[in-house]
Amino acid sequence: MRTYLVTGGAGFIGSNYIHYMFNKYNNDIRIINVDVLTYAGNLENLKDIENRDNYTFIKADITDKDAIEKIFAENDIDRVVHFAAESHVDRSIKNPEVFVNTNVLGTAVMLNCAKAAWELEDGTFKPDKKFLHVSTDEVYGSLPDDPNAYFYETSPIDPHSPYSASKASSDMLVKAYMDTYKFPANITNCSNNYGPYQFPEKLIPLIINNALQGKKLPVYGDGKNVRDWLYVMDHAKAIDMVQEKGKLFERYNVGGHNEKQNIEIIEIILDTLCEMLPDEDPRKAHINKELITYVTDRKGHDRRYAIAPDKIKADLGWEPETMFKEGIKLTIKWFFENEEWMKNVTSGDYQKYYAEMYK
């Protein structure tokens, strides 16, 4: 049975990926989820699978070399899927150091421990061992408002925020391991994800949550920055396909071909909420465009991201399957059905962050 070591599996994409993998492979794989449970890590995301015999959670920090070494020593790991990171741009602007620590140093520790566990005496690697580094399109910087401009795998790395700079650095480390040691790895650079279990500091869950509570909807700058939104399960599928069918040492861009201005996203969410809420629901009365509030722009705000997923489509046959209209309904439905989840993650520390951020 193949053993996966998933880092950051209690976060948004990691937990969706674990659900995807158990749905697809059921008892044919074993998953070890290593997560230190920062504010963004939530074991509630995995409560329906936590009792499986083929699932183990280990609370550990990826920067803790001894802890990670021990996990490799005690388990014959076949696949690493490395999600663990600090992931929010606004937090990186306030406190860059933690991003360097987790995203750069943490990735170095993961690479080094995997290399030590998998390397043979002659410097080659045990067969069928693979490391997948989950990265972002933000490493490519910002595109102009030209609908023909896209990020390709060959686009220059040109990060602007401390978050994207730390992710670009971690990508470079993975590349260095591939180039220097022929370390068996791939890198994926994905566009903005949305879907269940996303922490409400990111645009889509924040807008859903605020609108339902009749709170203001903060729009940075002119609201015309463009992001390319991908339903999280399509990303999970892409990761699995890259690891199964991708060519080792290659980088794959993963994107939704779903570019939208932030203001368009907000308007779609408001319309969809009104469409989905029954007339007798009291929340419906306060959901309207007057909640939209333009606020000071994010420092260094990237204007536009847009992925050309040509390579992953041509080489692996991956394509985004969930249209935004459908994906946003699935997401809103999930939030309707999981109000407790939202209450729990927005209590405590997050309240302090929100008050500070939007004061």
Q: Which residues bind ligand TYD (CB under 6 A)?
A: 89, 192, 202-203, 206, 218-220, 225, 227, 262, 298
Q: Which is closer to ligand NAD, CB of 15 or CB of 210? A: 15
262 binds, among ligand TYD, ligand NAD, none (CB under 5 to 8 A by kind): ligand TYD
From candidates 132, 190, 208, 291, binder to ligand NAD by CB under 6 A: 190
- Least spacing, CB of residue 259 vs ligand TYD, in Å: 12
Answer with the entry of ligand TYD, ligand NAD, none that 155 interacts with (C-beta below 5 to 8 A by kind).
none
Among residues 296, 274, 270, 294, the alpha carbon closest in space to that of 284 is found at 274
55 is catalytic: no
Q: Name which of ligand NAD, ligand TYD, none residue 225 binds, using a CB cut-off of 5 to 8 Å depending on partner kind.
A: ligand TYD
Residue 125: CB minimum distance to ligand NAD, A: 23
**Rounded distance, CA 218 to CA 295, Å?**
6
Q: Looking at 32, 84, 241, 312, which residue binds ligand NAD (CB under 6 A)? A: 84
Catalytic residue list contains 137 = yes
Q: Say how many C-beta atoms besides its own lie within 10 A of residue 238's C-beta.
A: 24
| 197 neighbors 42 (Cβ within 8 angstroms) | yes
CB of 85 or CB of 185, closer to ligand TYD: 85
- With CB under 5 to 8 Å by kind, the binding choice for 63 among ligand NAD, ligand TYD, none is ligand NAD
Q: Is 192 in the site for ligand NAD (CB under 6 A)?
A: yes
Q: Which of 78, 138, 234, 259 is catalytic?
A: 138
Give the residue from 182, 329, 299, 342 showing the smallest Cα distance to 248.
182
Q: Say whether 163 is catalytic.
A: yes
Catalytic member of 61, 78, 137, 240: 137
Burial group, residue 308, by CB count within 10 angstroms (0-12, 13-18, 19+): middle
Q: What burial class does residue 312 get, using C-beta atoms within 10 Å of its C-beta: 0-12 exposed, 13-18 middle, 19+ buried?
A: buried
Name the nearest CA neighbour of 249 among 347, 323, 182, 150. Answer: 182
- Tell me: does residue 167 bind ligand NAD (CB under 6 A): yes
Distance CA(7)–CA(181), nearest Å, equals 22
Quote the distance between the C-alpha of residue 250 and its chain's center: 20
Per-residue buried b or exposed e for 151-184, using 16+ beta carbons within 10 Å of the residue's own CB: bebebebebbbbbbbbbbbbbebbbebbeeeebb
Q: Which 202-231 positions form the footprint of ligand NAD (CB under 6 A)?
A: none
CA distance 249 to 252: 10
Binding site for ligand NAD (CB under 6 A): 7-8, 10-14, 35-38, 40-41, 61-63, 83-87, 102, 106, 134-136, 167, 190, 192-193, 199
> Would you name the residues annotated as active-site residues?
137-138, 163
